[in-house]
Amino acid sequence: MTLFRASVLDTPANPFTGGRLRSDDDCGLLVEQGVITARGPFETLRSTHPDEPVLNLREGILLPGMVDTHVHFPQVRIIGGLGLPLLDWLDQCALPEEMRLADVDHARGVAHDFVSGLVDAGTTTALVFGAHFAGAVDTMFEAADQWGLRVTTGLVTSDRLLPEPLLTTPERARAESRELADRWHGKGRLRYAVTPRFSLSASDALLESCAQTVAEVPGAFFTSHVNENVHEIREVASLFDGAAYVDTYDRHGLLTPRSVLAHDVHPTDRELATLAGRGTAVAHCPTSNAALGSGLFPLRRHVEAGVRVALGSDVGAGTGFSLFKEGLQAYFAQQLLGEQGLPLTSAHLLWLSTAAGADALGLADEVGVLSVGRQFDAIWVLPEPGDPLAVGLANAASANDALSKVFALGTTSDVGGVWVGGDQIAAGRWRRPRDR
Ligand code: GUN
Ligand code: ZN
């Protein structure tokens, strides 16, 4: 057992429906076998548990671990390819890199770089877009398992339009996916996600094989892309006899509460109603949408339609792993939308990057907030003394203001410690809590 002492911020209730930031300045969290078993004023917990070791994190802020609902493992080494719209970026940046993952040893190195990127950023749970090669997906599961991260991932499948080495058949996709799921789904903190790349590169036969795989792997997730770029949407419509993009998945029964579709920058109202009706979540990827010029995400329309929304970094079209940056960019996008935008507070940004992600991934009972009964997945925001964030936190007018400063100024270097299920898996770049 460990008694953590910290200034804790989290969002137990959805700020889009009236929830507020929960702020406990001198909070005690008792953690037993990875689970929070008591929470309250530190001195109260100290007096009832006088013999437990105390980990004092009062300097800085303790937040729930970040939850990234859309991030591509094969793209870690190509972050920063700016200046191209989606389909050109895929052709020139992403797909050539993804073909290199046919080599398992190369893939293992990429998986290592990728998982390090997640951990450094304080991401403790992720829905990871995998690779087109089963051997590469194995290396991703292995790396996540070694670090103890909560990762849901799977084989990316396509049977048209992409370069030949990235193509499969519906039968092979199903067989390889089943094999990977048999090996990894439900092992430790890992789960399987059935992952056609996008309808543009997936025939109806491939999508139908995806539906069969979902049915054969109880508890499996489904993830793909939707409505990201206007040219892409036009092409999808012409390939599917004018169908709406969302319907290309829905008519195979692929949209359920265990489905997450990335982007959805240009939905119709009817598509939003379908997503809401199915309980499918959308991964909003703000820096990617800006970098590729895909558009400004209509968050208000999603929220008003009742669609669940969480954040995704969309590495490597997105510009890094930090969900602080994604949160800030989400805020910017809503500001730029003017009257159509949904003004966001720091509580919204924390919700979107933690509890909303946990909800989208069906893990709301386990992670996303630092409440009794939840896993102790947490990050310690601890800027270096003198850093503008440290100065800002020292002078914050309120907890909401302090949290705004975290999103405005925070980077991966400010993550001073990362815990998953009570285990500390990273100690930040410049100091460890136990040294203090
Ligand atoms: N649509 C299909 N593949 C991709 C990808 O790798 N990144 C993004 N942003 N969109 C996609
Ligand atoms: Zn993506």
Cβ 198 under 6 angstroms from ligand 1: yes
Going by C-beta distance under 8 Å and a sequence separation of 6 or more, which residues neighbour residue 115? 143, 144, 146, 147, 149
The CATH code of the domain that includes 341 is: 3.20.20.140
| Ligand 1 contacts CB of residue 425 (under 6 A) | no
Please check whether residues 28 and 115 belong to one and the same domain.
no
Closest CA to 73 of 12, 131, 152, 141: 131
Q: Whose CA is nearest to atom 5 of ligand 1?
A: 90
Q: Are residues 27 and 114 in the same domain?
A: no
Do 141 and 23 fall into the same domain? no
Proximal ligand: closest to the CA of 265: 1
Domain check: are 97 and 53 in the same one? Answer: no
pLDDT, tens digit, 9 for 90 and up, residues 274-299: 999 999 999 999 999 999 999 999 99
* Ligand 1: centre distance to CA 404 (Å): 30
- Residue 257 pLDDT more than 90? yes
Q: What's the pLDDT score for residue 428?
A: 72
**Distance between CA atoms of 365 and 348, rounded to whole angstroms?**
19
Residues 347 and 374 grouped into a single domain: no
Cis bond upstream, residue 316 (ω within 30): yes
Residue 262: CB atoms within 10 Å: 26
Q: Whose atoms come closest to the Cα of 71: which ligand?
A: 2
pLDDT digits (tens, 9 = 90+) for 55-100: 999 999 999 999 999 999 999 999 999 999 999 999 999 999 999 9
pLDDT of residue 157: 98
pLDDT at residue 158 is higher than 90: yes
CA distance 60 to 381: 6
How many Å lie between the centroid of ligand 2 and the Cα of residue 136?
17
Q: Do 261 and 276 contact (CB within 8 A), yes or no?
A: no
* Closest ligand 1 atom, residue 314 Cα: 9
Query: Distance between CA atoms of 295 and 288, rounded to whole angstroms?
Result: 10
Provide φ and ψ at 394, rounded to 5°: -65, -25
Containing structural domain, residue 6: 2-64+368-435
334 and 379 belong to one structural domain:
no
How high is the pLDDT of residue 427? Answer: 82
Please give the distance, rounded to the nearest whole angstrom, from the Cα atom of residue 1 to the centre of ligand 2: 39
Decide if 422 contacts 35 (C-beta within 8 A): yes
Q: Which protein residue's CA is at the shortest distance from atom 7 of ligand 1? A: 317
How high is the pLDDT of residue 435?
Answer: 41
Is residue 430 over pLDDT 90? no
Mean pLDDT along residues 113-142 = 98
Q: Which ligand is located closest to the Cα atom of residue 93?
A: 1
The domain that holds 28 is classified in CATH as 2.30.40.10
> Based on the domain organization, do 413 and 275 belong to the same domain?
no
Nearest-atom index, ligand 1, CA of 200: 2
Structure tokens at 428: 């930040």
Same domain, 330 and 318: yes
Quick one: 85 and 171 in the same domain?
Answer: yes
Does the beta carbon of 202 lie inside 6 Å of ligand 1?
no
Q: Ligand 1: distance of its center to the CA of 169 in Å?
A: 20
Of 296, 329, 360, the last residue of a domain is: 360
Span from the CA of 93 to the centroid of ligand 2 (angstroms): 13
Of 360, 385, 413, the last residue of a domain is 360
Query: Does 180 score more than 60 pLDDT?
Result: yes
Q: Is the pLDDT of residue 434 over 90?
A: no
Has residue 431 got a pLDDT over 70?
no
What pLDDT is stored for residue 429 in this prediction?
58
The ligand whose atoms approach the alpha carbon of 131 most closely is: 1
Q: Is the pLDDT of residue 436 over 70?
A: no
Cα of 169 from ligand 2 centre, angstroms: 22
Q: What is the pTM of this model?
A: 0.98
- What would the pLDDT profile of 19-62 be if each residue is shown by its tens digit? 999 999 999 999 999 999 999 999 999 999 999 999 999 999 99
Confidence band of 174 (pLDDT split at 50, 70, 90): very high
| Domain shared by 331 and 426, yes or no | no
What are the residues facing 281 on neighbouring strands?
A: 260, 308
Residues 397 and 299 in one domain: no
- Position 433 scores a pLDDT of 43
223, amino acid identity: T
Q: Residues 302, 222: one domain?
A: yes
> 228 in ligand 1 pocket by Cβ < 6 Å?
yes
Considering the chain, what is the average pLDDT of its residues? Answer: 97
Domain end: 321, 340, 360, which one? 360
d(CA 4, CA 23): 15
Tally the domains of the chain.
2
C-beta 73 within 6 A of ligand 1: no
pLDDT of 305 > 50? The answer is: yes
Confirm or reject: Cβ of 70 under 6 Å from ligand 1: no
Ligand (nearest to CA of 226): 1
Q: Are 154 and 184 in contact (CB under 8 A)?
A: no
Pocket test for ligand 1, best of 71, 72, 156 (most atoms within 8 A of CB): 72
417, pLDDT greater than 90? yes
